[in-house]
Amino acid sequence: MRTARITAAAAAGVVMLAGLTACGGKDGGNKAGGDGAGGSPVQAAAAALRTASEKTGSEKSAKVESTTKQGGTTQSMKGGMDWSQGMRMNVETTGQGGLGGNKPMQGLYTPEAMYLKLGLGGKPWMKYDYDAMAKKSPVFALLKDQMQNNNPSRSVGLLLATGKAKKVGTEDVRGVKATHYTATFDVAELTRMQASKDFSEKDMKSMEAALKQNGTKDETIDLWIGPDDLLVKKTEKMQNKQGGYESTVFYSDYGTKVSVEEPPASQVNDAAKLSSGAMGGGLAG
C-alpha cells in the first residue's frame, strides 16, 4: 500500500530526525563545568555534555535540516520544531525512495498526531493518530512518546546516559567552531534509552524485537556542540539487514518562531480508518 509505505518512512525518519531520544534517568558523568581539570576524558566529556544538555533544553525552538539514508533510499527534511509544550514540527520532506520523487511533501507533527500532505482521496491531508496507528506498528507508539516528552537536548542526554561518550576534537560545522563527541551502544541500550518513563514495557519489548529482527546490533551517535553550548549537528549510524541507517541533522536559529496549525477537518482523511492494516514493517532501521 503506497500510503502505508510513505507513512512508515516518514514516521521512522522523524523519530530519528528530531534527536528525540530520552536519557532514561541516567547521566553517566559529573557536574557540568567545562573539561573538568583532573578528571578522566570520559568525565570531562560528560561535564561538557551536561552543560550542553541544559543549555539546549532551555531553548524552546529551532530550525532543523536533515538527510537520512536508509535501505537504499535518501530522504531530506527541512523546517522548524517547537518543544515549549510537547514537540510540534512543521517540515518539508523530499525524496521517498521513488514513492514521492523529489517533490516536497509537507508534514505537521503534534503531540497527538501527524499530518502529511499527500493529496489522496480528494482531500490534501492525511492524519495519523499515534494511538490508533500504534495498533498497526510499534513505531507510532515510540513516535507518540517522543513527541510528547522529548526535545533536542535528549540527544545530548543519551550520550551522557551511556557513560561512554568521548571527545573527538574541534571541527568546523557550517562556519561554527564546534566540539565533536561520540558514543556507541548496543540495541538493548538503544531501546531503553530512547523512550521516556511513560513508554510501556510492552511497547519497549516490541521495539527491541523489531530492531533485533532487522539485524540491528548497535548504534553510533556523534554530536557537535557550538561555542555557546548549543547542539549544532548530530549524526546517527547503524547497520542492519535492510542496508543500514545513517542520519545527519543540523540545528540552527534557536528561538525561532514555528507555526504548526492543524488542518481543518474538511481537508483531512483519517489513515486509521482508511488503512488496510499492513503496517507491520513500519520500523525501519
- 236-250 pLDDT, tens digit per residue, is 887 776 667 888 999
What CATH number does residue 176 fall under?
A: 2.50.20.20
279 assigned to some structural domain: no
Give the residue from 172, 158, 181, 156 showing the smallest Cα distance to 41.
181
Residue 110 cell numbers, joined: 503534534
pLDDT of amino acid 137: 73
Q: How far apart are CA 153 and CA 60, in angstroms?
A: 10
pLDDT of amino acid 188: 63
Mean per-residue pLDDT, 146-175: 85
pLDDT of amino acid 196: 52
- The range of the structural domain enclosing residue 21 comes to 2-274
pLDDT of amino acid 203: 61
Quickly state the pLDDT bin for 155 (edges 50, 70, 90): confident
What one-character-per-residue DSSP string does 114-179 give?
EEE---BTTBSEEEEEHHHHHTT-HHHHHHHHHHHH--THHHHHHHHHHT--EEEEEEEETTEEEE
266, 142, 27, 66: CA torsion to nearest 10: -60
281 assigned to some structural domain: no
Strand 268-270 versus strand 125-129 pairing type: parallel
- Buried b / exposed e along 125-142 (16+ C-beta atoms within 10 A): bbbbbbebbbebbbbbbb
Mean residue pLDDT across the chain: 76
The SS3 call for residue 10 is helix
285 assigned to some structural domain: no
282 assigned to some structural domain: no
Give Cα 20 distance to the centre of its chain.
4
Q: Higher-confidence residue: 92 or 150?
A: 92
pLDDT exceeds 60 at position 212? yes
pLDDT of amino acid 192: 57
Q: How far apart are CA 156 and CA 163, in angstroms?
A: 12
Burial of 94 (0-12, 13-18, 19+ CB in 10 A): middle
pLDDT exceeds 60 at position 144? yes
- 250-270 pLDDT, tens digit per residue, is 999 999 999 999 999 999 988
CB 125 within 8 A of CB 115: yes
**Cα dist from 174 to 59, 91, 160, 178, 208, whole Å:** 21, 21, 25, 10, 35
Number of domains composing the chain: 1
What's the maximum distance between 2 C-alpha atoms anywhere in the chain? 65
Residue indicated by cell numbers 561518550: 165
pLDDT exceeds 80 at position 228? yes
**Least-confidence region, from 19-23, 75-79, 250-254:** 19-23
**Least-confidence region, from 126-140, 147-161, 201-215:** 201-215
284 assigned to some structural domain: no
223 assigned to some structural domain: yes
Mean per-residue pLDDT, 12-29: 39
Q: Higher-confidence residue: 191 or 149?
A: 149
pLDDT of amino acid 208: 65
pLDDT exceeds 50 at position 104? yes
pLDDT of amino acid 49: 93
Strand ranges of the sheet holding 105-109, from the earlier edge strand across to the other edge: 166-173, 176-186, 218-225, 231-238, 245-252, 61-70, 73-82, 88-94, 105-109, 113-116, 125-129, 268-270
283 assigned to some structural domain: no
280 assigned to some structural domain: no
pLDDT of amino acid 4: 54
| Backbone phi, psi, residue 211, to 5° | -65, -45
pLDDT exceeds 80 at position 195? no
Residue 284 cell numbers, joined: 525501519
